[in-house]
Amino acid sequence: MQRRSWYKAIPSLITFLRIALLPVVMTVWLHGDRGLSLGVYVVLVLTDGIDGWSARRFGAATRFGAYFDVAADIIVVFVLMGMLSWSGAAPTWLLVGPLGVTLLFLGTSGEKTPRYDPIGKYYGTLLFLLIGLMMWSPLPEVTRVCSFLIAGASLLMAVNRIVYCARHQ
């Protein structure tokens, strides 16, 4: 049994890879290579699906893994949105919506496990997609549309979170 126990670490290693790829994405993007940075970003985003799949595949789903996955997603979103804001490619106020949703999620999660609602995965996927679009496109119109979509999705997610938690007490 001990020979196979290392399989249980695979999902967390994949999640860690998502965080470890952040400096690579940022460095390449800040040096002006949008194409390469987007390629690394796509790999980074794919790790979000692969870690969950591998946890189920290897019977390695744990409470730690679930929290680590959510924490990695939050870190990726805030670091890359911060990078876009710092470089002038996105407005700073854009961080407010995801920050509010994150605080609401943390405040309404159960003591032992996070309380996931079905819409949360779609919200995270939309954030990853819109961040990728803003990284790829130098057009201010794309940033404006993405910013509007992030703000609107954050508001809808916050309302959904409140309603979901009220129904599932």
Give the residue extent of every domain in the chain. Answer: 2-167
Domain 2-167 grouped into CATH 1.20.120.1760: yes
CA gap 12, 17 in Å, rounded: 9
List, for residues 94-111, the tens digit of each pLDDT value: 999 999 998 988 888 765
List, for residues 54-75, the tens digit of each pLDDT value: 888 888 888 788 888 888 999 9
Closest CA to 115 of 105, 123, 124, 125: 105
Look at 23 and 112; give whichever has higher pLDDT. Answer: 23
User: Per-residue pLDDT for 13 more than 80?
Assistant: yes
C-beta separation of 92 from 150 below 8 A: no
User: Per-residue pLDDT for 4 more than 80?
Assistant: no
User: Per-residue pLDDT for 112 more than 60?
Assistant: no
